[in-house]
Chain A
């Protein structure tokens, strides 16, 4: 008996993992069913959706950036004080004293940029593939909301280093908000906790960046991904009928139904 086999006989292991390791379809299904995180996937997927050009994996890239941002962000929070001038000093401390501090900060910064870009490209991809069509209308709306939240996260995070770039970037941005008729001034005051970008603004942006927006993001992202599956999996390029005059069942049927009928795991959760 190898060590691996022995481990699999222990009661602790069996209390955690309830399926075997043999590559049978049953085990492969159980892996998906029995894992909270994996069960957003169907058990079976159409093979062609795995092709790179089908979706360009843009949603996955955005999600991957999100995961990186969460990990690096939590680590950075251990070293950060949202106060003046300590916030800026903490940037210096990351650079000079904290082990891998520069790497963490760089990773967080570049991942944030990647997330904005990939989310935007994801939106374009979905649009050009007409994947917003029924039944995916609402998921499109959630997606647009997620894009706005992504911009909000990036923007609130922009202030936190409290350097010239941050201060003036945020000053310029919040001055645009001020232009909104009637409520512009009020919104700006509400965002900044005052009439100028000050320590209050730093604290508000910090709370928005580290608590409010991430929680909303997790919530909406879960709904978004869950609905991708509920709506019949990812939708790639619209399928062309070879003859323009002709009509196929595919274009008549809502895309989601089709897979449900042909044995996808739609109704299994």
Chain B
């Protein structure tokens, strides 16, 4: 009897909350743990900051001789239109892999998935706060 009840209940709940997990996963990126941010920052500063700059504005010391210029990662519009998955994909396969400039190398063989996720989390923290700027 109890089992039946539980099964029935779970069907109802499963139906009612079908969309819940996707929503929560997306929300996750807003709340990286301190440790993840630390790792992301370390990876970013080691591998990315040379071209993208310490604050991600595309102004690293190696940026001036690159054409096209490195992406401004802090641009709110860019941050908005690019999903985590797209960012991770671009890092993994490089510019050439996603149909952009080949000057952005692929990092999929150098960084593991965890490090790439961490760096994506860190890039999200670089978004310029337009509200505060004005």
Q: In their complex, do chains A and B touch, with some C-beta pair under 8 Å?
A: no
Residues of B within 8 A of A (CB): none
- List residues of chain A with CB under 8 Å of any chain B CB: none
